Structure 1
Amino acid sequence: MVSEQQPILTVTLNPALDLSARVSAMQAGPKLRLSAPVWEPGGGGVNVARAIHALSGSALAWVALGGASGARHLALLHEQGVATHVFDVTGDTRQSWAITDDEDRQFRLQLPGEGWTDAMAAQARIDIVAHAKGLVVLSGSQPPALSAEFTQDLVKDLGTGRVIIDTSGPALGQLIDHPLDRARPLVIRLDQAEAEALAGQSLASVADTHAFAKALCARGVAEHVCVARGADGSVLVGAGGDFHCRPPGVSVRSKVGAGDSFTGAFTLALARGTSPAEALRLGTAAAAAAVMTPGTQLCRAQDVTRLTRECTLHSMGA
């Protein structure tokens, strides 16, 4: 029996229409003949909602879309049965490409997306708050020219303990460098490269990552800090305890969507009342399941179920 869950709203400020295809070899000069493309609706929050849907959960995907590519993006979401609220923007929704060659090397190309005005940003905040009934996941990059304070302002609007953030760039730096006094995110998630850039040093071991995440929590950046370490799993630090979860070894076909699959499964577990530690286990399994799928495909439920039993979770000392 599927557990009841509180509502989840995923927010995608800068979505992308994702294309994946194969090529015999990537080289400069000649025309390169691609295989038939696979199109998917993409962007951090969109993928989080898709992963939640794949795991028999429910989420409303708040997504900023515009133009012909935005219409195609929305049609693909509807085909997949993902509940969607569209925030209309000017210009075409951006596209991104994941091209894989015969040596299974993957080349990922992304366009920046359309810039936002201050008026659009203010209206977006109002609209997001109006549709937020439970947990809110803000995932993915920001549109060009959007203020780095946008995410912080949204956390203030929504209040402490509701927002799960998986973003990058100036928005992430703002959250880390200037913790909020009166409201803080429920979770901030970073990948290994982001964590090392913010730490200003290599985080070579799990213990190094644990110390870094512990320091962020001590500064009040979020109630929980989660740092992904790729094939080495993820570290979660927070008031409920500190944990490391390592996935089993799997065959890697594409790393696209692993982080979003993690966030989707992790959020769904929390929305169903699962402990943060067990949510970490489910997220770790979902990330491992995602790398087993080709192109821009996300995790598959049957793989997540199997891999969850094979993930190794242990408590870390204070």
Structure 2
Amino acid sequence: MKRIITVTPNPAIDLSYHVAGITPGASHRIGTPLSRAGGKGLNVARVAHQLGHPVLALAPTGGAVGAEFAAEFRNSGVPHRLIPVAAETRRSIALVDTVGGETSIFNEEGSPLRPAEWQALAAAVVEALDGHGAGVLVGSGSLPPGAPADFYPALVRLAHDAGIPAVVDTSGPAIIAAARAGADLLKPNNHELLDATRESSLESAARHLIALGAKTVLVSAGAEGMLAFHHATPGGYWSARLPEPLSGNPTGAGDAAVAAAAVALANGMTDITDIPGILRRATAWSAAAVLMPAAGEISPLHTDLESQLILSWKETP
């Protein structure tokens, strides 16, 4: 199997608190949080590794939080390389309301990296792509302040120079830049997609990214499940959803979907006929992640969930 290489430019220590009901303005007694090294690309690597696929996770880390991050990730057993930086690694807090079934997430912005540190991260990507073991390059997550505007386009170019697909999961101007660079698959959620493109519908927004140069756009659409748009099918798109939505912690659901798509692309599923299968697996893994207490893992029920999916083709005018 080909290796999945993930790049997380703005990683975080993820703290997950489970609260039996949240009342705004009130005090709440909570237990010890679940603390783990996180960030979207690391969650992708964790999920793929859990299911037996070869991975390498790359990320910059620094400061006291970065040391905690590095220690936890070493214990995970996920193959990785951390690039030391001066900036303190950020934190992300998830408040999981076990009564109301809602999860609120508070993400620190992150700190700027120095130019030499961005160069060191890029060099680590080049080194990881060297040879014949890489099957796909995944760039995931937000960018810290002051990041190079062409960070994600540069990843796409590096992947294509190595002859492998590039997957990007980010938001805002960065996803527009990745589309223009010709990313093979983009994975926004519905809010990120509409915000980035300023379009009025998910279909027009996804088609906008494809018109810019993206090959496939996979969209997490909440209760509607997941949608897949492909550059070779301008007349419609695929939709996959469960008969009933699941309750749980959706923090890592999108990352699990990216992991499913990355596994498929790494193993040569790049034809248009493969898109429904990628969508089905991505939707099932995403749903299975909701059933777990923290991001970066999926429930063993993912196969059962996949068998329950309603997959359909939606034609558009």
Instruction: Tell me the secondary structure at the aligned position of residue 265 of structure 2.
Output: helix
Equivalent residue for 2:57, pick from 61, 64, 70: 61
Q: Distance in 1 between matches of 2:255 and 2:307?
A: 20
When residues 234 and 28 of structure 1 are mapped into structure 2, their CA distance, relative to the original with a 3 A threshold, is closer
Kept in 2: contact 1:261–1:287 (CA 8 A):
yes
Q: What CA distance in whole angstroms lies between the structure 1 residues aligned with 2:187 and 2:289? A: 17
Confirm or deny that 1:280 pairs with 2:276: no
Q: Tell me if 1:167 matches 2:170.
A: yes
Q: Aligned to 1:294, what secondary structure does the other structure show?
A: coil
Code of the aligned partner of 2:240: C
Decide which moves more: 114-123 or 250-259: 114-123
Gaps of 5+ in 1: 204-208
Does the CA-based 8 Å contact 2:176-2:209 persist in structure 1? no
Specify the SS of the correspondent of 1:20.
strand
Whether contact under 8 Å (1:117, 1:146) holds in the other structure is: no
Distance in 2 (CA, whole Å) between partners of 1:149 and 1:19 is: 30
Q: What's the CA shift for 1:174?
A: 3.0
Matched, 1:256 2:251: yes
Give the SS at the match of 1:190: coil
Contact 1:15 1:43 in 2 (8 A): yes
- Deviation digits for residues 110-156 of structure 1 (CA, Å, limit 9, x no counterpart): 11122112222223212212112331000111111112221112322
Shift of 1:252: 0.9
Aligned positions, number: 302
Does the 8 A contact of 2:11 with 2:89 survive in 1?
yes
Superimposed CA distance per residue, residues 262-286 of structure 1 (whole angstroms, 9 cap, x where no aligned partner): 1011211222334232111100001
Give, as a single letter, the amino acid of the residue that structure 2 aligns with 1:103.
G
Q: Displacement, 1:232?
A: 1.1
Correspondence for 1:217: 210
Do structure 1's residue 98 and structure 2's residue 90 form an aligned pair? no
In the superposition, the TM-score normalised over structure 1's length comes to: 0.86
Instruction: Look up the SS of the partner of 2:111 in the other structure.
Output: coil
1:15/1:64 contact within 8 Å kept: yes
Partner of 1:206: none
1:141-160 to structure 2, matched below 5 A, reads 141-159=142-160
2:107 and 2:189 map into 1 onto residues whose CA distance is 19
Closer/same/farther in 2, CA of residues 195 and 169 from structure 1, 3 Å limit: closer
Question: Any idea what the Cα deviations from partners look like across 1:13-32, whole Å, max 9, x if unmatched?
Answer: 11111111133554566654
Amino acid at match of 1:245: A
Code of the aligned partner of 1:156: R
Q: 2 CA distance for matches of 1:79 and 1:68?
A: 17
**Cα gap change, 1:110 to 1:212, in 2 (>3 Å):** closer
Aligned counterpart, 1:43:
39
Determine if the alignment matches structure 1 residue 290 to structure 2 residue 289.
yes
Q: Paired residue for 1:115, among 112, 116, 127?
A: 112
The 1:26/1:271 distance shift into structure 2, 3 A limit, reads same
Q: How many angstroms apart in 2 are the aligned matches of 1:82 and 1:175?
A: 27
**CA spacing shift, 1:279–1:224, aligned 2, 3 Å:** same
CA displacement 1:29-80 (0-9 Å, x = unmatched): 6654321211122101000001111222221111211223222222222322
Distance in 2, Cα, partners of 1:237 & 1:198: 17
**CA offset at residue 8 of structure 1?**
0.9
Query: Would the alpha carbon gap of residues 216 and 41 (structure 1) be closer, same or farther in structure 2, given more than 3 Å must change?
Result: same
Sort the Cα spacing of 1:233 and 1:26 in 2 relative to 1 into closer, same or farther, 3 A: closer
Query: 1: CA distance between counterparts of 2:100 and 2:226?
Result: 28
Match of 2:196, SS state, is helix
Answer yes or no: is the 8 Å Cα contact 1:289–1:307 preserved in 2: yes
- How much does 1:171 deviate? 1.6
Segment of structure 1 superposing worse, 86-95 or 231-240? 231-240
Matched-pair contact (CA < 8 Å) for 1:40–1:296: no
Amino acid across the alignment from 1:286? W
Q: 1:20 to 1:240 in 2, by over 3 A?
A: same
1:88 has 2:94 as partner = no
The equivalent position to 2:221 in structure 1, one of 229, 234, 239, is 229
Change (3 A) 1:317 1:29: closer
1:315 has 2:310 as partner: no
1:206-237 superposed Cα distances (whole Å, 9 cap, x missing partner): xxx334323432332x1212222122122222
- CA drift of 1:311 comes to 1.5
CA distance in 2, matches of 1:130, 1:149: 19
RMSD over aligned Cα atoms: 2.3
Distance 1:253 1:53 in 2: 22
